[in-house]
Amino acid sequence: MAHIRTYRTPVKMGNWFEEQRLKEDEVKEHLEKKGRGELAGQKMDLLKENILKPVKFSVTNDGTLHFGDIVMLVNMGGGNRECSAVSINADVNSLTKIPSPSIQAPCAVSAVRSVQPCTRTAFVIASVDGSPEGSTLHFEQSFALKTTNGFARGLYLTSDLQSFQKCAKKSRLQEVSLEDGDSFLSWWKIVYFDPQERLEYEGLPVPANVKVLIVHCKTNQALAVLGDQVLWTMYGKEYELTAHTFLDSHKAEQDNNHWILCTADPAGDGLSEVMLTFNFTVNPPTPLHS
């Protein structure tokens, strides 16, 4: 007779009261988080809505770059790399809603393969030596690169000497990230890409939409994208970004270090026509005299 059930189906067994209260608390907590917009799905939607919002890049009328210009840093790829752009690699853990929705520092960066003008890929050329906004940027002149204001909070592209505790996640090379505030660690300079003609261009205005090197002032390492170091982010497959100068057998920087500071097309609302067609000239530009 041991197999005979001595109680009816509706009878509750064990710690049924505690379990019921726990379930009620879970539902209540879920609804409260939903009301505050703190659910993971809500955070993801908020992040993507703001960080992928289209941004109008600056238009250059004289063909040169200026302080205050909003540009995209594009590497044209090569070898095992596709065309990519420096981008904010923020996730839901980087998001804060106080006092308003924005990303918080420190924040990672990566090279996104989707070259689209948006908050994630927009950077402002900022002065660090007192040069007024709108003045021309020159080769070898120190400057800073920062994200746009608002959701991206104007964070500065920063790097420092490689150490055991602070280095790139995959390659273990010199790390590049976004930090609050301007410091010497966020100073960069534009260098002409051809070492044989570099002295000739020193001190001349930097043309927009041409191949250059972006060198970190403190460590003298050039900004680089690594095609063999793939990062899987919430935005998809991307490349690791680092500060490291890659030299070939002729002591010239490789295409990992070649960047184009891309501006908007004066004839339209998008990127420059050169950028859209990926038809960059292979001949060196004529030096621009101030």
What is the domain partition of the chain in residue ranges? 56-280
In the block, residue with structure tokens 């270090």: 257
φ/ψ of residue 108, rounded to 5: -80, 160
Tell me the pTM. 0.82
pLDDT value of residue 117: 92
Residue 280 · residue 269 · CB < 8 Å: no
Phi-psi region of 14 (alpha: psi -120 to 50; beta: other; left: phi over 0): left
Q: Which residues of the chain have pLDDT under 50?
A: 273-274, 276-290
Fold of 56-280: Trefoil (Acidic Fibroblast Growth Factor, subunit A) (2.80.10)
Q: Is the peptide bond before 287 cis (omega within 30 degrees of 0)?
A: no
